[in-house]
Amino acid sequence: MTEIITGLNLSPLEILTLLSALALVVARWLPAAARPRGTIVAGAVFLLSAISLCVTGLRWQLLPVLAGAIVAAPFAFSPLVRSRARRARWWLALPGSAVCACLILTGSLTAWAFPVPVFPVPSGSFAVGTRVLQWTDPDRPETFTADPRDRRTVVAQLWYPATNGPDVPRAQYLGRTEDEARTVAEALASGVGLPGFLLDSVPRARTHAIPDAPVAGGRFPIVLFSPGSSGVRTQNTAWAEELASHGYVVAALDHPYDSAAVVLADGRTITTATVSTGDRDEDDRLADDWAAIRAADLSFTLTRLEGLGGDPLAGHLDTSRVAATGHSMGGAAALQAARRDHRFDAVIDLDGYPRGPLSPALEQPTLALTQAITPATDPRYLPRLTEVLARGTATNYRLTIPGAAHLTFTDGPLYLPPVPSIVGSLGRVESPRVVAEATLGFLDSVLRKGSGDLAGLLSGYGELRVIRPGSGR
Query: Which domains does the chain carry?
Result: 12-113 (no CATH), 127-467 (3.40.50.1820)
442: enclosing H helix or E strand: helix 427-447
First to last CA, the chain: 58
- Round to whole Å and give the CA distance between 129 and 141: 32
The pLDDT value given to residue 277: 87
pLDDT of 2: 46
**pLDDT the model gives residue 80:** 72
The segments of the chain whose pLDDT lies below 70 read 1-8, 81-93, 451, 471-473
How far, in Å, CA of 433 to CA of 427, rounded?
A: 10
User: Residue 321 in contact with residue 347, Cβ under 8 Å?
Assistant: no
Residues 188 and 199 sit within 8 Å (Cβ to Cβ)? yes
Return the pLDDT at 252: 98
User: Which pairs with CB-CB distance under 8 Å and at least 24 residues apart come from 430-435?
Assistant: 431/404, 432/120, 432/238, 432/239, 432/242, 433/120, 434/401, 434/404, 434/461, 435/239, 435/350, 435/369, 435/401, 435/408, 435/409
Neighbouring C-beta atoms of residue 363, cutoff 10 Å: 16
pLDDT at 91: 60
Closest by CA to 436, choosing from 395, 401, 398, is: 401
